[in-house]
A = this chain, B = another copy of it.
Amino acid sequence: MKLKATDIGQMASASEVIFEALREAIAQGDVKEGEALRQDHIARMFNVSRIPVREALTRLEEQGLVSTQRYRGAVVARLSIDEIREIFEFRALLEPEILRYSVARMTDDALEKARRFARAFATETDGARWGDLNRSFHYALYEEAGRPYYLQTISTALDRVDRYLRAQLVLTAGMDRARREHQGILDACIARDAALAARLTRDHILGACDSLLDFLDRQRAGETRHGDVDAGDTGTGDTAMRDMAGGHMGKGTR
C-alpha cells in the first residue's frame, strides 16, 4: 500500500485525511483488490489511534470501495464482471444527461478550462496521471450543469471502477481513442450541440466499458489458470505497503 499525503484544504480532521488517502489509493490501484486493510497497521502509518481509521473505513464501506465482515476486517472490494458492467451502464445513463443540462449553461471560461484538461490529458506521458486528468476533463464539463447530486453520484460510481479503468488505459492502446473522443465531445460542447455531446459521451463510456471487459476477461482467465490470486486472497503480503504517508499527523510518539 502506498499513500500520498493528499493535501486537504483547511486542516481537516484526522479521519478525513485518512479517508481521502485511502480513497485515492484504492482508486489509483495502489492497493490491490482483496487486500486486507488492517486498522492497526493504517493507524501506525498515520501516527494515530484506530478510532479515526475506523471512521474512514466506515465511510469507504458506505461508498462500496471496501467490504467488511464483522470481526474480520475490511478488504478492498472486488467487483464482478457483472457489477462493473452495471456501473458503466449507470454512468452511460447519467453522464450524457448531466452534460445535456450543462451545455446550455456553459460559459467560455468553463469551455476553456475543459479544453486545457483535454490538452493536458492528451500530452501527459506519465500513465499514473491519466486517470485524474480524465476525471478533471469530464468534471469540468459537468460542473456547469448545477446538479450537485448528479455529480456526486457520478463521482461515487466512477470511484468504484476507476482502478479498473486506469489499468486498462495504461495497458492497452486505448489512449488514442480516448483523446479523439474527448476532442469530439469538447467540439460538440463548443458548438452548443447538446444532443451530439450527450451521444458521444454515451459512446465514450460504453466503448471504454467494452474494451475494459475484454481486457478483464483475458486477465481474469489468466489469473485462474495460473492459480495466481484466488478469490479469497487475504493479502498478507505487504506489497507496496511501505512509503506510506510517512508519520504525518500526530504531535509525537504517544
Residue ranges of A at the interface with B (Cβ–Cβ < 8 Å): 13, 51, 54-55, 58-59, 62-63, 70, 83, 86-87, 90, 93-94, 97, 147-150, 153, 157
Complex CA gap A83/B146 in Å reads 10
Q: With A70-B13, A93-B94, A93-B97 as known contacts, state yes or no: A149 contacts B59, CB within 8 Å.
A: no
Q: How many copies does the complex hold?
A: 2
Kindly state the separation between the CA atoms of A33 and B63 in the bound complex, as whole angstroms: 24
Given contacts A55-B54, A59-B58, contact A153 B150 (CB under 8 A): no
* Residue of B with least CB distance to A15: B58
Is chain A's interface secondary structure helix, strand, loop, or mixed overall?
helix
Query: Which residues from chain B contact A90 at a C-beta distance below 8 Å?
Result: 149-150, 153
For A147, the chain B residues whose CB sits under 8 A away are 86
A46 → chain B closest CB, angstroms: 17
A–B complex contacts, Cβ < 8 Å, 26 sampled: A13-B70, A51-B51, A54-B55, A55-B55, A55-B58, A58-B58, A58-B59, A59-B59, A59-B62, A62-B62, A62-B63, A83-B148, A83-B149, A86-B147, A86-B148, A86-B149, A86-B150, A87-B149, A90-B149, A90-B150, A90-B153, A93-B93, A93-B94, A93-B97, A149-B157, A153-B153
Other A-B pairs, 19, CB within 8 Å; known A55-B58, A93-B94 = A13-B70, A54-B55, A55-B55, A58-B59, A59-B59, A62-B62, A62-B63, A83-B148, A83-B149, A86-B147, A86-B148, A86-B149, A86-B150, A87-B149, A90-B149, A90-B150, A93-B93, A149-B157, A153-B153
